[in-house]
Amino acid sequence: DPELRATLLQEVETMQAMTRAVLDVLRGGEGEEIRNVDANALIEGLAADATELGGHVTIHGRAQKPFPGRSLALRRALANVLDNARQYAGGAVEITVEDKAASLTIRVTDHGPGIPEAEQVRMLEPFQRLEPSRNPATGGSGLGLAIARSIARAHGGELYLRNGADGGLEV
């Protein structure tokens, strides 16, 4: 039956995407070679992509030097965070870059409802979503922040969630 076949193929594609995402979490981008990454170009490219999808992204600050990292993994981590901000908060998103001698901090801030403080740690674990249904139309698989956190850690960093004083979420 062609209809059943199409449904089954869609299910297989969904399972493959989830499997790839789980492997990404476990690997943290380790298979990719470390090289000097132009963080400014990476951030500007992702901001342009988000803008094309209907977001409004403002960038504050700049990296002063290349960052030694895994370019594709870093792109994936930042894209996950930006996609969440755009999808769940709507409206404007701000990216703030702070380049210090010992660290590079990239902060993504939105103006949405934020995440209840009691739920923030849970949201960094795989397959966790605030929206409880399993409907893919209402959200992803709950892997985006877990993948971003794994990639941050693989680069010697960390990913934190914090609600803003005036609402919104800062990642």
A 10 A CB-CB count for 157 gives 16
Q: What angle do CA 153, 155, 157 make, to 5 degrees?
A: 55
The radius of gyration of the chain from alpha carbons, rounded to an integer in Å, stands at: 17
How high is the pLDDT of residue 128?
75
**pTM reported for the whole predicted model:** 0.80
Question: Which residue ranges of the chain lie beneath pLDDT 50?
Answer: none
How high is the pLDDT of residue 91?
73
How high is the pLDDT of residue 65?
95
